[in-house]
Amino acid sequence: MATSWDSNTREAVKKIPLLKTNSGPRDKEGWATRLKEELAALIKYINMNKESDTDWFTIQPNKEGTHWSGKCWYVHELIKYEFDFQFDIPATYPTVAPEIEVPELEGKTAKMYRGGKICLTIHFKPLWSKNSPHFGIAHAVCLGLGPWLAAEVPYMVDLGVIEPKT
C-alpha cells in the first residue's frame, strides 16, 4: 500500500472488507449483490470509526445505489469544518472509481476539477486500478476523500477561503 497515507489510514483500510462481486449498475442482478457487499463494507468502516471516536462522515445512496451523498467533516485546530459531498457510480464501476465531489469547495483549491470533483489522480486512482474489483465505496471514502480533506482543509483555512459553519 502506498506510503503517502498515514498509519491510521493504512490500518483502517486493512480492516475494510474486500468486495467479491465484479458488477456495476448495468448488471442488474450482479449490482444487487455488489450493493449488499458495498453496504456491509461501509457499515463496517463507519462502525470502526465510531468505536475509535474518529467518525467523520455520513453517507446514503439513492434507491438504485447509483448516486451517493452525505456530509463529511474535518477538525483543524479544534474547529470543525463540514461539507456536503456526493458522487455517482460510473457505468464501468468497479473498474473505474467514483469521482467524489465537494461542490461548495469548487475553485478554492488547485486540487480540484470542474464541478467540485476532488483530485485523486496521483495517489488514489492507481491504487484503485490495482485493487479493482475488490475496492468499493468505503475504500474510496477512506483512501480518497479522507486524505484529501486532511491535506486541503488546513491549506484552505490558512488561505482564508473557508470558514467553519456556525
Write down the residue that cell numbers 453517507 correspond to.
Answer: 59
3-state secondary structure of 85: strand
Q: Running DSSP on this structure, what letter comes out for residue 111?
A: S
Q: Burial, 117: exposed, middle or buried (Cβ in 10 Å; 0-12, 13-18, 19+)?
A: middle
Helix axes 7-15, 28-51, angle to 10 degrees: 130
3-state secondary structure of 30: helix
- Which residue in the list 19, 102, 119, 156 is annotated as catalytic? 119
Catalytic site residue 142? no
Write down the residue that cell numbers 465484479 correspond to.
Answer: 22
Residues with catalytic function:
119
